Amino acid sequence: MRLNRFLLRATSTCAFVLLLATQATAATALVPNGDFAQAQGQNVSGWRTTTWTGTPRFFVSPDGGRENSQCIAIESTQGADASWHANIPVEPFSQYRLTAWIRTQDLEPGSGRGAQINLHGEEERSTAISGTTDWTQVELNFTTRESNRVWVNALFGGWGSSTGTAFFDDFELERLGAVEAPKVGFEIQADQIGPDISPYIYSQFIEHLGRCIYGGMWAEMLEDRKFFFPITERYRPWRNSDPDTRFKTHYPILVGSPWRIIGDAETIEMVASNEFPHRSVAQIQLQPNQATGIEQLDLELLEGKQYNGRIVIAGSLDSGSVRIGLHWGDGQEQQDSVLLSDLTETFQTIPFNLQAGGYSGNGRLSITGQGAGAIQVAAVSLMPADNVEGFRADTLALLRELNAPLYRWPGGNFVSGYEWRDGLGNPDHRPTRRNPAWTGIDTNDVGLHEFITFCRLLNAEPLVVVNTGFGDPYSAAQEVQYINGAPDSPMGRLRSENGHPEPFDVTWFGIGNEMYGDWQLGHMSLNHYIIKHNLFVDRMREEDPNIKVITVGDAGEWSRGMLQRTADRTDLISEHFYCQERDSVIEHVAQMRDNVRRKANAHRGYREEIPGLAARNITIAMDEWNYWYGPHVFGELGTRYFMKDALGIAVGLHEFFRNSDIITMAQYAQTVNVIGCIKTTRTEAAFATTGLVLKLYRKEFGTIPVQIEGETGLVDVMAALTADRKTLTIGLVNPTDQEQVLSIPVAGLNVSPEATQFQMAHADPMTYNEPGAEPAIVIEETQLTLEDGEEGMQFTAPPYSVNLLRLPVK
């Protein structure tokens, strides 16, 4: 199936004809500040820096250039993968030569390549320089198609980390000539089919990060409900950055107790308890003449809505009572409350129900007492009464529409520091921990049982990732036994004690997450990790030989090494990629397709290189893929998605379909809020534009991919038959600002022109949906008759549109 790419290697074979230019464009003028003469301090005009991993130092050398002039440099003693880069305008359908000069000092490639130049997100790269060298010129040639810009990197490391120093100078770009734009013309060859599209392509990934689970999926309204932070007179729960973590953020995160003291500060004390030996509980000393206690603010309450809660409380009251109040205003009439009087000196869990009589965006829950004696509070919970086994009803309704067949959990980077046993047993007794990989805290309210319940509610399969970072093979094996072991096994008995005698029967397990990266807790070298991976799988399969495992991969030396030495302990191999924003919508969309294709082609190459690998048919689980850029509107990594992102996700799906022989699973990352396809506020949930695409294709697109031959031009086209072969489905994505009129000839099958059309379109590619507001982007379903033209049925794709057609087979 022919693929459209917006940037082609000059060495690739294509039908373009090189048109000799009468004169090559002047080279030096095309690269902004290519000699780095324009710089103030460490700020270089036209150039910026990016760090992918490690600890680089970027600097401007005032006299280190080729002519003792100014140049840019990168150095690292601990290892880094980083670049200076420039976004350079180019002409579409042109051939270019990019050159630069590189000098190195004690540069060790390490797991990277060394010092080089490359085009970001593309395969084009120069020769890599390492060691200690004098100035050496490097070059690369490339051909543009629709692109009008290229991202040029002065790259240190490259697909891994290097150490030492690299100097870069005198970048020049020369336009060699024009290439002829291909004539648009294609044919859907419906009798030429590929391997079935796996339903697992529509899978999802959720992680304990930001507002994905807590604040997005889980219905708990209270922060720090088990008093991880001590309650003090100093009430400052939210900060813009957390000094106790390595993350500096521009969104509020919880760094102190969200509970405010009511009455004298001396009446509140954090004390030890025999029933909760690993944490403190809040003790409230009652006063005869005034109410004392604690309250939590920042609750959004809806008029007339019921709220269910529970409190784990003990007390020794000589007189008086305890009141739990829900407040939507400051007046006595603007609250609903319940009285607790029969307290005991041992902790008991007491449920309560409250109703908001009005709306408030800053409601409060208070726990107060008046009289004589003291009470101790170990935990409090408050959820909307319409929660479904602890999950938000509004979010769950959208997730059911999304209809993902499988969910990956609990991480992500989080898993490499996660102790899975913390999530077992009575939620009110589970420990609260600092998030080991991200910001804030994790209450462990959503553990293994809750995740399995979540999957069952959605009729989805669970994929449990085990901790190969700070974790160990014994713990992973115990986790498998807990999940799948017989009721009379040691961990099966513990599972029974926690309310589920029968095994969970989980098939899929991920063996770690991104262990190739030095950002990962427990990161180690490839050779060492191969040993660790094999130990994990062996111990886990001793507990259940029927599990299927997904091996950590990363296209390049890591994936190659894992496939060479862990293939007998691998069912699928994972790959991850994220795309950033591009100025051109066409390029923004194209990078999604190119990244999928790059991963697929790399693994096809491994099958040719590694003896016996092809026979094992180890396919790719692209278990993290998405766009990742922009402000964090919805909490940590809570980026907003636009119409142009929906176009890219549709094109990404098309590329998965084209590569159904080698990509059999993909997890969109992540599901809710955190780079999510569903966005929430405290009380509303809505599909982001990307979620609408995933929902549409999951429901309406076929499962048997068919061949498309020829050039589709600017429109990305994919087709598939439904499983019963009674319907031909066609996806058409137009990333341009112009209508695109297409002829759609179909060979090998007789189809009716009476089509059902599903369309997402908007004239502004930066349009987005907002929870709580009327959606700006929707899926519109219409019936239409495709007119017959000289070369096939005619279809007009509106600007910036995703179009899915269903044509009955005659």
Residue 290 is part of a domain; what is its CATH number? 2.60.120.260
* 25 vs 531, higher pLDDT: 531
Q: How many residues can be counted in the chain?
A: 810
Do residues 411 and 547 both lie within one domain? Answer: yes
d(CA 810, CA 803): 22
Cα–Cα distance for residue pair 137/129, rounded to 1 Å: 10
Q: Quick one: 683 and 534 in the same domain?
A: yes
Rounded to whole angstroms, how far apart are CA atoms 215 and 210?
8
| 70 and 153 co-located in one domain | yes
Alpha-carbon Rg of the chain, whole angstroms? 29
Tokens of 560: 């190659």
Cα distance between residue 802 and residue 644, in whole Å: 10
Which helix (H) or strand (E) covers residue 473, if one does? Answer: helix 473-484
Q: Is the link from the previous residue into 794 a cis peptide, with omega within 30 of 0?
A: no
The one-letter amino acid code at 766 reads M
Q: Is 64 among the domain residues?
A: yes
Residue 719 placed within a domain: no
678 lies in some domain: yes
Q: Answer whether residue 124 is part of any domain.
A: yes
Q: 478 with 406, same domain? A: yes
pLDDT by residue (tens digit) across 590-643? 999 999 999 999 999 999 999 999 999 999 999 999 999 999 999 999 999 999
Q: How far is CA 180 from CA 4, 14, 20, in A?
A: 15, 11, 11
Tell which residue, 156, 143, 139, has the closest CA to residue 56.
156
Please report whether residue 733 resides in a domain: no
Q: What is the mean pLDDT of residues 690-694?
A: 99
Q: Based on the fold, state whether residues 695 and 674 are members of the same structural domain.
A: yes
pLDDT at position 29 is 66
Determine the Cα–Cα distance for residues 599 and 578; give it in Å rounded to an integer. Answer: 12
Q: Are 367 and 286 in contact (CB under 8 A)?
A: no
Using CA atoms in the order 175, 180, 184, 188, what is the torsion angle rounded to 10 degrees? -90
Residue 783 located in a structural domain:
no
Q: Does residue 158 share a domain with residue 29?
A: yes
For residue 139, which of 130, 151, 128 has the smallest C-alpha distance?
A: 128
- The token duo for 676 is 């999510």
What is the pLDDT averaged over residues 505-509?
99
Q: Are 364 and 477 in the same domain?
A: no
> Are both 153 and 261 inside the same structural domain?
no
Number of domains in the chain: 3
Same domain, 539 and 608: yes
Residue 425 sits in the same domain as residue 520: yes
CA proximity to 375, closest of 339, 348, 343? 343
Its domain, for residue 91, covers 7-179
**Which of 706, 728, 758 represents a domain boundary (last residue)?**
706
The answer to whether residue 411 sits within a structural domain is yes
Averaged over 461-467, what is the pLDDT? 99
Last residue of a domain, one of 363, 384, 405: 384
Residue 787 lies in a domain: no
Give every CB contact of residue 513 below 8 A, 6+ residues apart in sequence: 411, 412, 413, 415, 416, 465, 468, 469, 520, 552
Instruction: Please give the pLDDT value at position 240.
Output: 66
pLDDT digits (tens, 9 = 90+) for 187-238: 999 999 999 999 999 999 999 999 999 999 999 999 999 999 999 999 999 8
The pTM of this model reads: 0.89
Distance CA 351, CA 306 (A): 13
Alpha helices in 680-729 (DSSP H): 689-700
Is the confidence at residue 7, as pLDDT, over 60? no
Task: Tell me how far apart the alpha carbons of residues 477 and 483 are, in angstroms, rounded to a whole number.
Answer: 10
From CA 609, how far away is CA 501, in angstroms rounded?
47
- Give the whole-angstrom CA distance, residue 484 versus residue 494: 12
Tell me what percent of the residues of the chain surpass a pLDDT of 70: 95
- Same domain, yes or no: 30 and 169: yes
Do residues 43 and 172 both lie within one domain?
A: yes
Sort 26 into a burial class: Cβ within 10 Å, 0-12 / 13-18 / 19+. exposed
- pLDDT surpasses 50 at 17: no
